[in-house]
Amino acid sequence: MSSLFAQGMSEPLAARLRPRSLDEFVGQQHLLGPGAPLRVAIERRAIDSMIFWGPPGVGKTTLARLLARQTEAEFVAFSAVTDGVARVREIVAEAQRRREFGRATLLFADEIHRFNRAQQDAFLPHVESGVIVLVGATTENPSFTLNGALLSRARVLVLEPLSLEDLSTLVQRALADRDRGLGARSLTVSPDGLTQLVAVADGDARRLLGVLEAAASLADDGAELSDVLITQAAQRRLPRHDKSGESHYNLVSALHKALRGSDPQGALYWLARMVDGGEDPRFIARRMIRMATEDIGLADPQALPLAIAAAETYERLGSPEGELALAEAVVYLATAPKSNRVYVAWKAALEAARATPAAPVPLHLRNAPTGLMKELGYGDGYQYAFDAAEAFVPQDYLPEAVGARSFYEPGSFGFERDIAKRLAWWQALRDRARGDRSDAPSRDDPDAASSSSL
């Protein structure tokens, strides 16, 4: 094995291979390709404040340095963790002095989502006046982490994970470069090794080169790096998940949509991604209870108690045993008949309640516990349902201001088919009471009222 320290290469491979020009930069062609917006701005030396938003290892910091170099601006780094408002004043004073000599200042804020409100507000007037060009880098959705005033003064540019082709290009460059890469060691990588290497990188150039360097340290000069060696060097691939960031919402959204779409395979995958990424299983369990009510409802009345049972099982067993209960619930919910009719009905009922917040309760629906209330007509006209043979008496249960409304309309799948039959039977009894129909169904056969089917 060859020692990197013996070669004077104490810097990691990813740092040594950092691009020194835009021509060396790999990826992000939607921003840097011919005629692309950022490329044009660089060529015209018309750089405005901007936010680079993308996953780790896609070149955000490198691109900021290249912007400064291409436009001959002073590159100044600011740490939201260690630097405060006092440092902002120093940077602005230095930038104003440079401006007098015609040189711009590019202020780079890595992990800009860690800026507190005071830091964000301190930059605003100087960004707006053009004293500094602010370039921020973040892995988090700026909509959630930066205030609107700062966002309105900076363009948000989205950087994508590197493609398989981009990653392959970086591997070949690292193996061929004798000055900054591994070229002096005459290493090669097998086709399966290359496939494994770009797979474990997950679009992250820094991770790609880190694994490549680790594999090279395990091999002799002139060796071929196999997929087995790459796997050994990579160890376990770390899940990309932030319990408080955008991926938290993206993953739970994917789980919800897979359940709604009746795809148990996708639902199990997203559940596994969340659990393996460190998401709190209790949060997942609560979300599944919501899914049972929103997307299944009364199409399968057992969905809600099963989701609750899964949550309670996890509370008792914890991980990893309790995770199986969540998996069971996910499969059940995904394969259950679907209906959002209760969800729709509830929204409609809320809308009606908010539109008529002062509508009085009809007298016949009011209770009359006192003599005065009886004298005022409370409860007059109310008919007790169980006095009728069908245990049903047609009467109005909505305020006059609301009128005759139908909030809930059952679907045609699962248990809601039976609900539809009952509702149709009760409606037939109402029609008969009004004399509207002579062909009402049998008084003791609600199923005869409907022939709904799948």
CA-CA distance, 167 to 165, in Å (whole number)? 5
Percent of the chain as helix, strand, coil, to the nearest 5: 55, 5, 40
Tell me the range of 285-289, 357-361, 448-452 where mean pLDDT is highest: 285-289
Residue 171: both structure tokens together: 């591997």
Q: Does the structure show a pLDDT above 70 at 433? A: yes
CA-CA distance, 379 to 224, in Å (whole number)? 90
- Closest-CA residue to 213 (of 447, 435, 1, 13): 13
102: burial class by Cβ within 10 Å (0-12, 13-18, 19+)? exposed
User: What is the residue type of 209?
Assistant: L
Distances (CA, A) of 175 to 180, 216, 322, 379, 426: 10, 10, 46, 89, 78
Identify the helix (H) or strand (E) that includes residue 50.
strand 50-53
Residue 289 is predicted with a pLDDT of 95
Residue 296 is predicted with a pLDDT of 94
Q: How many CA atoms lie within 13 A of 223 on its CB side?
A: 16
Residue 100 is predicted with a pLDDT of 80
Residue 245 is predicted with a pLDDT of 57
Grade residue 241 by pLDDT with cuts at 50, 70 and 90. low
Residue 114 is predicted with a pLDDT of 79
Write down the pTM of the prediction: 0.56
227-234 helix and 205-217 helix, angle to the nearest 10 degrees: 110
Per the prediction, the chain carries an average pLDDT of: 83
Per the listing, tokens 């200042």 go with 105
Identify the helix (H) or strand (E) that includes residue 90.
helix 85-100
Identify the helix (H) or strand (E) that includes residue 32.
helix 29-32
Residue 248: both structure tokens together: 């938290």
Cα(first)–Cα(last) distance of the chain, in Å?
69
**pLDDT, tens digit, 9 for 90 and up, residues 280-328:** 899 999 999 999 999 999 999 999 999 999 999 998 998 888 999 999 9
In this predicted structure, which of 59-63, 221-225, 372-376 has the lowest mean pLDDT? Answer: 372-376
In this predicted structure, which of 114-128, 228-242, 367-381 has the lowest mean pLDDT? Answer: 228-242
Contact 342, 291 (CB under 8 A): no
Average confidence (pLDDT) over 79-86: 73
CA-CA distance, 53 to 203, in Å (whole number)? 15
Q: Does the structure show a pLDDT above 70 at 2? A: no
Grade residue 249 by pLDDT with cuts at 50, 70 and 90. confident
Q: Between 248 and 273, whose confidence is greater? A: 273
Coil, helix or strand at residue 60: helix
